[in-house]
């Protein structure tokens, strides 16, 4: 098998070579590209003759996939795979596996980093302190005793819920499927509208699908409490960001912590959230810790090894 890693994985090349060593020892060839490109022609050239492609969030569209005549497996170093044309993969019987679970702790922790930064106004606090200012006008809010709403109770949502409980929050949850372990831990399942109406903080943890695209639209933003905070570490298009920015400008929400957008950063200067008040923005960094990046690389190579032994894991399609 010819295996091609199309882009860097955020770990040292020496670690990449270490992870690939077992595959090469078994007689497979491995090519690593240490630079990233999104140009179709270059991707097609890099993928020529490959049976296996490894990527992180590099978009793979139908044109590229159809040009890869030998392709049998795509191992994705991400949980979400909406950047891969799955329909084209299904038509060609190409297996797609993801790196489920690699960033559970990292994303849950950043969700609280964003929540605390918004509630305690840490960004303006930093700015005013550097300008020899005081706390005047910067009194914040506690998490303790608040109602924390979790939208999506997969692994990351459940981890986030557990942290919220540790902070002393009442935790509400909405998900397509309810989990007994969540209910046993004291999490209260409810419908989405009720969750939005009762929560002081709402944290999103759903994948991007046809059903979840703009799940949090203008109507649902209007259901949220005055002063409530929205946290999005899931996928940007899950929220109508123009409507969110308007709600923030109008003072209908207390703030937002956002790590994901309609595009991968850099976020354009005229994006509606860039000028929104009481908003902490991060450049899609929730998953990106040294620990998580190494774990996902391990999973990506493990996916290949499992597939080669006819026991595929983390199968998306």
Q: Output the pLDDT for position 80.
A: 85
Distance in angstroms (rounded) separating the CA atoms of residues 126 and 96: 44
* Lookup result for tokens 């989405």: 192
Catalytic residue status for 17? no
Q: Output the pLDDT for position 22.
A: 97
Catalytic residue status for 264? yes
User: Going by C-beta distance under 8 Å and a sequence separation of 6 or more, which residues neighbour residue 169?
Assistant: 143, 144, 145, 146, 147, 148, 201
Has residue 198 got a pLDDT over 90? yes
Domains 2-102+290-308 and 104-281 share a fold: yes
> Selecting from 3.40.50.300, 3.30.470.30, 2.40.110.10, 3.40.50.720, what CATH number does the domain 104-281 have?
3.40.50.720
CATH class, 2-102+290-308 region: alpha beta
Distance in angstroms (rounded) separating the CA atoms of residues 293 and 159: 18
Picking from 201, 203, 225, 192, the residue whose alpha carbon sits closest to that of residue 110 is 203
The domain ranges of the chain are 2-102+290-308, 104-281
Give the CA distances from residue 212 to residues 11, 94, 237, 263, in Å, rounded to whole numbers and listed in that order: 32, 25, 8, 16
**Could you check whether the bond before residue 11 is cis, i.e. omega within 30 degrees of 0?**
no
What average pLDDT does this structure show over 217-230?
A: 98
Q: Which residue in 46, 235, 271, 296 is the catalytic one? A: 235
Average confidence score pLDDT of the chain = 97
Pair type for strands 73-76 and 52-55: parallel
What average pLDDT does this structure show over 66-79?
A: 96
Q: Which residue in 284, 290, 296, 305 is the catalytic one? A: 284
Catalytic residue status for 284? yes
How big is the chain, counted in residues? 317
Q: What percent of the chain has pLDDT over 70?
A: 100
Q: Output the pLDDT for position 79.
A: 87
| CB of 70 closer than 8 Å to CB of 33 | no
């Amino acid at each position: 098998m010819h295996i091609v890693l199309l882009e860097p994985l955020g770990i040292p090349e020496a670690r990449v070579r270490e992870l690939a060593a077992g595959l090469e020892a078994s007689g497979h060839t491995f090519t690593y590209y240490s630079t990233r490109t999104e140009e179709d022609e270059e991707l097609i050239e890099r993928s020529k003759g490959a049976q296996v492609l490894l990527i992180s969030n590099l978009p793979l569209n139908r044109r590229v996939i159809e040009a890869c005549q030998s392709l049998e497996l795509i191992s994705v170093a991400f949980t979400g795979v909406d950047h891969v044309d799955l329909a084209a993969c299904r038509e060609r019987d190409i297996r797609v596996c993801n790196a489920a679970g690699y960033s559970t702790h990292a994303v849950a922790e950043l969700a609280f980093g964003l929540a605390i930064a918004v509630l305690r106004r840490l960004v303006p606090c930093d700015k005013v302190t550097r300008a020899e200012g005081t706390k005047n006008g910067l009194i914040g809010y506690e998490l303790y005793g608040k109602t924390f709403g979790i939208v999506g109770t997969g692994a990351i949502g459940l981890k986030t819920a557990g942290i919220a409980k540790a902070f002393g929050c009442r935790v509400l949850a909405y998900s397509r499927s309810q989990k007994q372990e969540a209910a046993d831990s004291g999490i209260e399942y409810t419908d989405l509208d009720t969750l939005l109406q009762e929560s002081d903080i709402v944290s999103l943890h759903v994948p991007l699908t046809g059903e979840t695209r703009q799940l949090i639209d203008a109507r649902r933003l209007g259901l949220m409490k005055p002063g409530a905070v929205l946290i999005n570490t899931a996928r940007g298009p899950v929220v109508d960001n123009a409507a969110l920015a308007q709600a923030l400008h109008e003072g209908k929400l207390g703030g937002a912590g956002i790590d994901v957008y309609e595009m991968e950063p850099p976020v354009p200067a005229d994006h509606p959230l860039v000028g929104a008040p009481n908003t902490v923005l991060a450049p899609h960094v929730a998953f990106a810790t040294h620990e998580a990046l190494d774990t996902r690389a391990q999973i990506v190579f493990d996916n290949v090894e499992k597939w080669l032994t006819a026991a595929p894991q983390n199968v998306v399609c």
